[in-house]
Structure 1
Amino acid sequence: MKFKWNAVVIALLLAVAAPVSALPENGLKFVETADGRQSARTRELVQWTHSRLVFEKTLKRVAVGQESTMQVEVLGANEVLALAKKVGRTSIMVWYTDGSSETFLFSVVEDLSVLRRALSDIHPNIRIQLAPDRAALVLRGKVPTVDYRMAAESAARNYLDVGLGGSRGNVDVLMQSAGGTLFLDELCEMDLNLQAKLLRFLQTGTFSRVGGQTVLHSDIRIVCATNRDPAREVGEGRFREDLYYRLNVIPVQLPPLRERGADIMLLAEHFLAEKTKANDKHFRGFTPEVKSMIMQHDWPGNIRELQNVIENVVVINDGELVSVEMMPSLAPVLSKAPAKPAAVVPSNSVPSFGSVSSPTGAGMQGIRPLWIVEKEAIEYAIEQCGDNIPLAAACLGVSASTIYRKKKSWDSGGQG
């Protein structure tokens, strides 16, 4: 079964001007583009290339509407050299010696030849064309499977976002967030190379486009979120230690849904009312058995899982109260009726530091020097982390260099 694009549009982060239809102009004999082709109907010039415009009549004066888009220079009696500088549209006004004048509308577009060859390598039937009504590209052509389409779209996005100007989407986000807050979700999923760039930006507040020389500045507040343990990611080498400490200024621990207590039912009732209204149903609450199921469930998927379970119930069923029969996925919870035991810390799970019964007298023998207490705590953390010092340091809230320095001092008989 062949897959056919139905005008799949990839929006350009680099503004690509739509083609301009040729107007009935008599004075322009032809346009010779940088590749040597000559045509009287060419109105698209590739950025940063020269083109030669040859006219039928003798020129008196030439002017360009947007000098930032195109630069023109009269070469002779009837020739003009045009340099396409910036993507966009501009008009060229021409005055002839016979007193007449004409206006020509040109577009400056990106050079997409490399992208076209890349798409052809994916599949020879794939082609791109400029959308006639907006700054966008359209992928067309029949391909054997959807995998070819996904590969082509990925290649086009990567080329347009990075190859022609360099991470403009990221740059735009930083510029738009200036003076405000930027939220980075799933922080621990970030590539190590991108982590280094983020760290550099956090330290200096400056950044540059890939391949660009201009240094840009943005003063923003960073808020991050992750469902992983950043300290463990640091210890296992998947997250930069210096970036971890740079971001870990005001940590906020959000407890999982199973630890929210009464909030679980508040959220469940909220989602039930929301989904009931959206699906035009009549639910108004839960039976006592269902409330017990909801409170006892572990909810490993947190709020998303709760929301999806409620939506599934509302879409498939109807009634006024949600019953056990409507929630078969949570029914096994009823067989686990015993309440969840409170967490118990074994007596030997942490080092014993002695006790003090009074500031003076016999109880004083229970007090030990602080450096010994610190040493035992660090050694215990290293043991629990499988001798992974960076991970132990992250868990203790200190830098790995601090632990290495103290260990060196202890090994030489010092007190850290």
Structure 2
Amino acid sequence: MRQVERAIFDLRRGLPVLVRAAAGDLLVHPLEGCDDEALAALRTLSGSRPALALTRHRLARLGIEIGAPAARMPIDAADTAADVIARASAEYCKLPPTTRSAEADQATVSGLDLMRIGLLIPAAVVADVAAAQRARVETLVADGTILALAAEQIAAYAELRGHFLKRISEAEIPLSHAERARFVMFREADGMREHIAIVIGEPSEWNDAVPVRLHSACLTGDLFGSLRCDCGEQLRASVRTIDERGGGVLLYLAQEGRGIGLANKLRAYTLQDGGLDTLDADQVLGFGNDERTYGVALEMLEQLEISRIELLTNNPEKLAAMSQGSIEVINRRGVYGKLTQQNRRYLDAKAKRAGHWLEEVLDSEEDGGRIAPFKRPLAR
């Protein structure tokens, strides 16, 4: 696990790492920090022609449909770093007519997994280490200049990083909408992400089905009141509703921007300013419709000894995620923010393209952020 964490640290600094796989060693350079000098250095060090590794989501935006999760696109000697970056993340990019892509191998897919884990753009410049350069590369690995790790380590890390949560600390923090509230902090095993359970009221007084909200962090909406989303209003409405219903739990999950991270979320906002909706903007950057997972939420509820819940959500994916664990969802309640000129397109895309239950707010301009009555009880 430590090797993967160190690799993520290097990649976020714009440095390459070496991924070892059965088919051979692969140098992986992040898109961030890639310039003409870095591109030339990678070509020289590897002794082979670099390629651009892209997810199937980004390739689809380029008009290339593949069945695999990722593919490699050769980089010509005349290509500049700006050309490469544009192919990986620009809204409009015309590929050379001779461009061909090949299904990514294990090492390449693992390299892109590292980018996702590190909340970087899920694209990378990669180069196979030629036989003539192996000794040179191994020397750099031995002296610590380049970090090497196995593809299997990355796969295991991606599978387990959200498990083995450790309960770190807690404190009573009265809130404006819930005076009896306790914050319980959980840290993931790798130490990179922390999540908060806001425990409202006394567990001994809770209803049999505990009101629970899974709330993904949104710095712009929750803290600064951004009008581009309804997250801040949903957060406060959820706390208020949980308190009014006798108490329960709000899980504040470190999954900014539907799991793509704050930097990529801001990039997506810029693309949205050009006319894209929220899902298309994420796809331009190489992400799927929703990169979040909820294994962490399941483990937090288990540690809090909660097994039967009333889920406050508009998102069918959250219902499905809870059913994958030992949590019994007795019912669902919608939770809404205010519809504004700035967030209408965002909410409309979530409803029409991601299946979120938002009819109540989209069908009424005057809905002022209320909590909807019980709807769509789950068939057990």
TM-score in terms of structure 2 length: 0.22
Select the structure of larger CA radius of gyration: 1
Taking CA–CA contacts closer than 8 Å with sequence separation of 6 or more, which of the two structures ends up with the larger relative contact order?
2
